[in-house]
A = this chain, B = another copy of it.
Amino acid sequence: MIDLRSDTLTQPTKEMRDAIYTATVGDDVYGEDPTINKLEKLAAEITGKEAALFVTSGTQGNQLAVLAKCSPGDEIIVESESHIFFYEGAAISALAGVQPRVIEGVRGEMDPLLVKQAIRTEDIHFPDTTLICLENTHNRSGGSVVSLENMKKIYEVAKEAGIPVHIDGARLFNAAVATNKNVKDFTQYCDSVQFCLSKGLGSPVGSILAGDREFIQKARKWRKRLGGGMRQSGFLAASGIISLIKMVDRLAEDHHKARRLADAIEDMESLVVVNRPDTNIVIMNIENTKQRNEEFLERLKQEGVLAVSFGEGQIRLTTHYDVSEEDIDHAISALRRVVG
């Protein structure tokens, strides 16, 4: 089965399993897990931040950022289809008591002027605006890269207003690789960043939250409240280190596979590629096939390919480490048979 449902589905590599097997571990609640400490140090360096924290998921990293930066009754600016607003079960409101102020972006990019206008002035009726969140790459826009230029402008708006910026960088390494930039080129325009070790980077579990020392200290205490403080979690960190050292550059292959897939889909009469696939995600519109999502996905499955619904009439395909170039060929053939 060629599984294009998500890049979270990858199996860890042999090297990761080996690293897990031999990991030196300790009790991280006591700060004594050397592998966790090593990963956190490495992640801080890579993002150019003072400190980093291993967390169990991108959602946890994002939520900790909000909990550590905001107070109940605050407002945070988020893109209208961002993961933190769309896919985290309203946790920003449930846990941190903050209200999202959404701005509709274009391919994930929010207009800096709209961001500026959305910042609240002082008024007894208004919440305080205390955080601006970007998502890069932007999942629901099909893995589109939010440009450095856009990030810089929003960061300037934020700094002028004295408001911190958080990047939900679940797939930030994809953005860096796709633009031939360093992750630091992106993280220079934020106060905190979360990125996942478990998507394109292939680790079984975990994400990183990075920022300044005081922020990470606060986040660490909130992580304990959320039950994210773990014991010998170095096993997970061992794989995370491999992800950062060995798996970053190869993201280019995933992007290449996605482009090939998109090109082939574009060539099929009844399918339309909805996004411009900057990275490893392809979204296609299947309405011209007259098939409903469910039916289309079932037929695709019969042909040995898995994908996911992305709103009625749209289907998302995600490339990753466990999908080879040959698998892409097979997937293209399968699609051709389904649209027949």
Contacts and interface: CB of A to CB of B under 8 A. Distances in A.
A39 to B, nearest CB: 15
A228 B206 CA distance: 10
A56 B93 contact: no
A142 interface: no
A100 interface: yes
A228 B93 contact: no
Given A125-B88, A235-B235, A228 B228 contact: yes
Contacts of A100: 99-100
Contacts of A72: 72, 90, 93-94, 96-97
Contacts of A247: none
A56 B227 contact: yes
A151 to B, nearest CB: 24
A234 to B, nearest CB: 8
Contacts of A98: 90, 93-94
Interface residues of A, number: 70
Contact of A232 (B5, B12, B91, B232): B12
A92 interface: yes
A93 B89 contact: no
Given A56-B227, A88-B225, A91-B225, 19 more contacts: A5-B30, A20-B21, A58-B227, A60-B228, A72-B94, A73-B91, A73-B221, A92-B93, A93-B99, A94-B98, A94-B99, A95-B95, A99-B100, A100-B100, A198-B231, A204-B232, A205-B230, A205-B236, A226-B226
Interface of A: 5-6, 8-9, 11-12, 17, 20-21, 25-27, 29-30, 55-64, 71-75, 85-100, 102, 124-127, 198, 204-206, 220-222, 224-236
